[in-house]
Chain A
């Protein structure tokens, strides 16, 4: 059997498959179904400084080959995540976990990351810069290179753990933002977050989602995600984590050929809770089919 292991920012992963934040909670719902230690790691639910209920419902809309969500970063706040969620997580997952962090100001990010940095089980900090900057007129941090770099610097200053900046695809030039994060000290880049989308109910003639718009994810966005991963991986020296519509072992390999060191799986978990395990178990077969002996050898192979 070929080798599935990869090294993500200095930490060895048994395989490159990582359930994406917001689709895997803190792991224990899935741990009821299978041993989640089969995963490379997982990125836990986006955590903020303060508790958040999130947006009004409906928060979910179905699309052709995908879905829209406008959950709005519901989470109990970093203190409760540390005191209540992480102990439960530890009981079903023994590997380093990826901590996903969001914020509404640079100080928010630094506060949350500083607390999570102290948690032994946290291997990486994945910093989501797609949130609106309340001090910056509500524009997302991830849409401006300077703002994304400011978040990166602030987080790097409070942690020794690898910092992976998670980028939004809703920008004109994702490469310049990725480079700004790299220059500011980021250890890795993950992309893509969801694409801004919308559905309208023909009966009510109103948006399906209470928030009107939300993040579109699922297999439909895979080609867009792949293209952006390819562009960013070609422009930066740091590792790239690819995600967006991945739902098969073939998709994982395609993302890696585009330049991804590891691959996150999001929306697919919500439809088939076993999908990440199934992908991991299917990878050796697909690797053999395409004569791949070690996954780490194919990273960026399409460049």
Chain B
């Protein structure tokens, strides 16, 4: 974990309420795809945890949905403004178990962390299939970006206005060696049931600190209680314990 100041390079809408922000700063604490950052906003007490979409030596890309006052404030920020960010939070996805043909399943703002993951898996020579699920055509983002990386990319929409009608689980490829997923919990549950391989799932929870100190985001797993922010947000399919 590292606390440092980042400067906004660009902050542009991808859809009506989803924004992409590119920041420049010290990314050295980020060690794996699927990790997150925790952003301080002026006038807001708690930081905003946002998943890392992409990063390199000096830039960080995040994609966020405007859901409340904090993200509204972020959407109004301009290039050149700075943000105090804690980086390198959470465990992130493990690449080793991917096999030759992993499938990546993302729903809504669960899509972004899969982008850097796809890059890393492709760099390892994997054949990567991506299924992106949205409610409707106007909410779709990053289809071309995944295609441009060289992923076999499918889109599903709940209302059938684009791509295959249905959920990401309706577009699972016939054969895959492993799965990685991120999205709302009902989607994660559906993926858990629909997949026939092992895999990793990224979870969300309201957080206090984001670095393991407050126990605000704990969840029960088959291997004991875990902090979503520290031992998570990525859990192995085998350790997940669904409650209720």
Cβ A271 vs Cβ B45 within 8 A:
yes
Q: Which of A18-26, A123-131, A141-149 contacts B (4 or more CB under 8 A)?
A: A18-26
Cβ B216 vs Cβ A71 within 8 A:
yes
* Given A59-B218, A74-B225, A273-B86, 6 additional A-B pairs, CB 8 A: A29-B212, A30-B213, A33-B3, A59-B217, A267-B45, A271-B40
Cβ A273 vs Cβ B3 within 8 A:
yes
Cβ B211 vs Cβ A273 within 8 A:
yes
Cβ B45 vs Cβ A74 within 8 A:
no
Cβ A218 vs Cβ B45 within 8 A:
yes
Q: Does B196 contact A (CB under 8 A)?
A: no
Cβ A273 vs Cβ B225 within 8 A:
no
Cβ B45 vs Cβ A63 within 8 A:
yes
Cβ B45 vs Cβ A59 within 8 A:
no
Cβ B45 vs Cβ A64 within 8 A:
yes
Contacts of B83 in A (CB 8 A): none
Q: Does B65 contact A (CB under 8 A)?
A: no
- Closest residue on chain B to residue A268 by CB atoms: B45
> A45–B46 Cα gap in the complex (Å)?
20
| Interchain nearest-CB distance for A272 vs B (Å) | 7
> A62–B206 Cα gap in the complex (Å)?
10
> A267–B214 Cα gap in the complex (Å)?
9
- 10 closest A-B pairs by beta carbon, nearest first, are A270-B209, A60-B216, A58-B206, A74-B215, A60-B206, A62-B46, A60-B208, A29-B212, A270-B208, A59-B216
> A161–B212 Cα gap in the complex (Å)?
29
Main secondary structure of the interface of A (DSSP, over half): loop
Q: Does B50 contact A (CB under 8 A)?
A: no
Chain A 268-282 residues near chain B, CB threshold 8 A: 269-274
Sorting the interface of chain B by its residue count into under 10, 10 to 19, 20 to 34 or 35 or more gives 20 to 34
Q: Does B207 contact A (CB under 8 A)?
A: yes
Cβ B45 vs Cβ A62 within 8 A:
yes
User: Known contacts A58-B206, A272-B3, A273-B86: does B213 contact A29 (CB below 8 Å)?
Assistant: yes
Residues 110-143 of A, flagged 1 when their CB comes within 8 A of B and 0 if not, give 0000000000000000000000000000000000
Chosen A-B contacts, 11 in total, with CB atoms closer than 8 Å, are A30-B213, A60-B208, A62-B44, A65-B45, A67-B208, A69-B208, A71-B214, A71-B215, A71-B218, A74-B215, A271-B209
Contacts of A32 in B (CB 8 A): 1
Cβ A58 vs Cβ B205 within 8 A:
yes
Main secondary structure of the interface of B (DSSP, over half): loop
Contacts of B1 in A (CB 8 A): 32-33, 273
Residues 200-244 of B, flagged 1 when their CB comes within 8 A of A and 0 if not, give 000001111101111111111000010000100000000000000
Cβ A59 vs Cβ B206 within 8 A:
yes
| Interchain nearest-CB distance for B230 vs A (Å) | 8
Please count how many residues in chain A sit with their CB below 8 Å of the partner chain's CB atoms.
Answer: 35
| Interchain nearest-CB distance for A89 vs B (Å) | 14
| Interchain nearest-CB distance for B65 vs A (Å) | 14
Chain A 163-193 residues near chain B, CB threshold 8 A: none
Contacts of A99 in B (CB 8 A): none
Residues 15-47 of B, flagged 1 when their CB comes within 8 A of A and 0 if not, give 000000000000000000000000010001111
- Closest residue on chain B to residue A73 by CB atoms: B215
Q: Does A7 contact B (CB under 8 A)?
A: no
Among A25, A30, A208, chain B packs the most CB atoms within 10 A around the CB of: A25
Q: Does A57 contact B (CB under 8 A)?
A: yes
Q: Does A66 contact B (CB under 8 A)?
A: yes
- Closest residue on chain B to residue A209 by CB atoms: B206
Contacts of A60 in B (CB 8 A): 46, 206-208, 214, 216-217
Among A23, A61, A270, chain B packs the most CB atoms within 10 A around the CB of: A270
Cβ A67 vs Cβ B46 within 8 A:
yes
| Interchain nearest-CB distance for A269 vs B (Å) | 7
Q: Does A94 contact B (CB under 8 A)?
A: no
Contacts of A74 in B (CB 8 A): 215, 218, 225
| Interchain nearest-CB distance for B86 vs A (Å) | 7
Contacts of A272 in B (CB 8 A): 3, 40
| Interchain nearest-CB distance for A246 vs B (Å) | 14
